[in-house]
Structures are given as C-alpha cells and as structure tokens.
Amino acid sequence: AQSVTQPDIHITVSEGASLELRCNYSYGATPYLFWYVQSPGQGLQLLLKYFSGDTLVQGIKGFEAEFKRSQSSFNLRKPSVHWSDAAEYFCAVGVGNAGNMLTFGGGTRLMVKP
C-alpha cells in the first residue's frame, strides 16, 4: 500500500530564511505528487503538483518542489520565507486509476520567527 512520510512534525525558521520541507513516499508505480497548505481553521490549498516531465516543479507563493525518484522524495522549498507562510503543509501521493485518491503525509507545521 502507498504511504507518505513527512519526517518533520514542526519546523521553525526566521523570516527571510530559506525553507525545505521533506517528503518521502512509498508507491509501486509512478506517483502523482502534491503539496498542499492548510492555514488554521481553513481547508487545503494546492501549492504545486507533479504528474510527469520536468522533475522541478514551480508552484504558487514562490514554492517549488523537486521529484527525486531514486530517493522516493518530493521535498518542498522556498528561498525566502514570509511570516504569512506559517501554516501546516501536507505532502500527498495520488493513487488509483486516475491518481486522484490522495494519500497524505502527517503534515509539517511551519512557524516563522520575526
């Protein structure tokens, strides 16, 4: 069965610092991969997704992620964090015939210091 692991439950970075959130997946076939962000009391918003092609994916709000098949990873990065980026971040793998049955990781809570 597929699974997604986000090793870091909490991360704190200073505003303006760079960010990398880790995501590792386990899935037998070529995965569809996603990063979502959840602000407190809100639903999830898609940051970016990887289906195929270029392994470096650009998303909204200045985020990017790189698919590394050899490491089964899809880490999320941002060169300079803003205070408004403080939220919960979820990595997900899409399975099923259409890749739309999402399995999520446990999430990483990002806190931003002024």
Partner 1 sequence: DTAVSQTPKYLVTQMGNDKSIKCEQNLGHDTMYWYKQDSKKFLKIMFSYNNKELIINETVPNRFSPKSPDKAHLNLHINSLELGDSAVYFCASSRGRTDTQYFGPGTRLTVL
Using CB under 8 A as the criterion, which residues of the chain lie in contact with partner 1 when the complex forms?
32, 36, 41-46, 49, 51, 88, 90, 92, 96-104, 106-107
Beta-sheet pairing, 56-58 with 3-5: unpaired
Q: With CA atoms as reference, report the closest residue to 25 among 74, 62, 81.
A: 74
Q: Which residue has the tokens 């092609």?
A: 53
CA–CA dist 22, 65 (Å, integer): 10
The least distance separating partner 1 from the CB of residue 23, rounded to whole angstroms, comes to 14
Nearer to partner 1, 70 or 100 (CB): 100
The least distance separating partner 1 from the CB of residue 70, rounded to whole angstroms, comes to 25
CA–CA dist 47, 62 (Å, integer): 9
Nearer to partner 1, 34 or 78 (CB): 34
The least distance separating partner 1 from the CB of residue 84, rounded to whole angstroms, comes to 18
Nearer to partner 1, 13 or 34 (CB): 34
Beta-sheet pairing, 10-14 with 101-104: unpaired
The least distance separating partner 1 from the CB of residue 38, rounded to whole angstroms, comes to 8
